[in-house]
Amino acid sequence: MIPAEKIIVALDTQDDKKVEALFKALSGEHVWIKIGMEAFYTFGPDVVFDAHDKGFKIFLDLKLHDIPNTVANGLKTLARLPVDMMNVHAAGGKEMMMRSLDALSSHPKRPLLIAVTQLTSTSEAQMQTDQKISTTLAESVLNYARITKEAGFDGVVSSPLEVGLIKQELGENFITVTPGIRPKDYASDDQKRITTPLEALKMGTDFMVIGRPITESSDPKLALKNILEGK
């Protein structure tokens, strides 16, 4: 059985009726809601307040990446919203993350801060060709995780496949949030590095991000129930 508190449901839509229906279907299920660029840019802060008012914990997934001052001030503004977790791109560098953490030092209840390592839609060949990173993908992820911890952040976004390495080197308390989760026999869509929910749980992930298998289901509550039961 997978604890519902480990599931972050990805709200990636521009349809307000889908948002309303999903919140209604998952009400009381103790899952998190991930509000990404698509939903936030469509509905603005209202969708955050709506999710909060309905009792969900919120991961605001905007993946900030800019010069240190801009990202720090951006996060400081976003932290005024009732969010529980926010993220940046680790590729922005240690200084960017340290400045971001410092900007939130006086926050009365600071959200968790995590950094994206390598997107789960990126293959090793793509990374080496497009980003000109000559190491293995796992080594790149671990390097980004190291500088994220050195900057004082709470954890990283990675695929489930790298969780073991991250936990082994950086400790069990360093949070891992893992997209690329697909129930057995579900299409991989644009994800490259994927596992099933049960596999991700065994690998030690703290939170698993699941979108379309739940949000595109005709019965999101049943889809979630099946995932929690390991089906």
Residues recognised as catalytic: 63
Q: Are 150 and 157 in contact (CB under 8 A)?
A: no
Quickly tell me which residue has 């929690």 as its tokens. Answer: 228
Task: Please give the Cα distance from 4 to 27 (Å, whole number).
Answer: 12
| Angle formed by the axes of helices 94-103 and 68-78, nearest 10° | 40
3-state secondary structure of 227: helix
CA of 5: how far to CAs of 33, 34, 181, 206, 217, in Å?
A: 11, 13, 15, 9, 20
**Phi, psi values for residue 86, rounded to 5°:** -140, 165
